[in-house]
Amino acid sequence: MASDTRELESITVDRTDGVVTITLRRPEKKNAADAAMWNELLAEFRAIATNSADRAVVITGAGGNFCSGADLWQGASGEAPPHQLTAMRHITDVCLALHRIPQPTVAKVRGVAVGAGLNMALSCDLIVASENARFSEIFAKRGLSLDFGGSWLLPRLVGMHRAKELALLAEIIDADRAEAMGLVNRVLPDGELDAFVDDWAARLAAGPPIALAMSKRLLNNSLAVTMEEALDDEGLSQTVNFGTKDTIEAIKAFMEKRDPVFEGR
């Protein structure tokens, strides 16, 4: 098992057998994202997007929580904070970098996932939650409106009226209710969470990288295109797939009654 772990100021990045696990690591703040964490996440998301050795991504939090949202800006001693619009543009860059990752992404959620922390999880392709997880679009209780893509993500995941319920009331909901609303894919006993996500991540990492990236892009764009445009995009994507060695390998493996070995070529 090939593994490489780097511990940065606010996150830990582990690469094992094609799976990149990013752990938000400010447990004393329930992993609230400060300036250092935003900077580190932006750099890692952009690096992953162009690294063919990275086949799947898991985002999780240390200390029993996922992320409690954005922390107050903390610069060096005596340093003036940036204008709020400038700070928000930086957070927007992080959100877009996560959204643009072509590899499958999984959020593994324990404890709180609120505010920008919830929307970071929702920005992932799949969400697996512990039964102890709690979720909230907490912004209204802080005198704020949605950010980190919440206004775009929520209606697509749960419908407009449920999205407004979550945003306007800012209630904290448990994992079972989140699953019933369509916010998460699976809810598991806490002791089963790690093994389940490890299995999903390994299966995703073993999949055909180009084809998975194509499917992810098609689904992300689906609500912004017509049926005709979607069919055209599907045709172009399949044309690309049929030109890859992975499709040839898949057909050969089927004929030989074995599992295919995909290389992303």
pLDDT tens digits in sequence order for the chain, 265 residues long: 568 999 999 999 999 999 999 999 999 999 999 999 999 999 999 999 999 999 999 999 999 999 999 986 554 445 666 778 778 888 999 999 999 999 999 999 999 999 999 999 999 999 999 999 999 999 999 999 999 999 999 999 999 999 999 999 999 999 999 999 999 999 999 999 999 999 999 999 999 999 999 999 999 999 999 999 999 999 999 999 999 999 999 999 999 999 999 999 9
Distance CA 65, CA 24 (A): 9
Alpha carbons within 13 angstroms on the beta-carbon side of residue 63 total 16
pLDDT score of 76 = 44
Q: Is the dihedral of CA 189, 63, 149, 103 positive or negative?
A: negative
pLDDT score of 71 = 87
DSSP string, 165-217: HHHHH---EEHHHHHHHTS-SEEE-HHHHHHHHHHHHHHHHTS-HHHHHHHHH
pLDDT score of 1 = 56
pLDDT score of 72 = 60
Q: Is the dihedral of CA 155, 161, 164, 166 positive or negative?
A: negative
227 close to 234: Cβ distance less than 8 angstroms: no
241 close to 211: Cβ distance less than 8 angstroms: yes
Distance CA 114, CA 167 (A): 11
Q: Residue 230: phi, psi to the nearest 5?
A: -65, -40
pLDDT score of 80 = 65
188 close to 130: Cβ distance less than 8 angstroms: yes
Burial class of residue 119, CB neighbours in 10 A (0-12, 13-18, 19+): buried
Distance CA 135, CA 257 (A): 44
Distance CA 173, CA 166 (A): 9
Residue 246 has which token pair? 């992975």
pLDDT score of 86 = 79
Residue 219 has which token pair? 């689904």
pTM value?
A: 0.93
Distance CA 192, CA 190 (A): 5
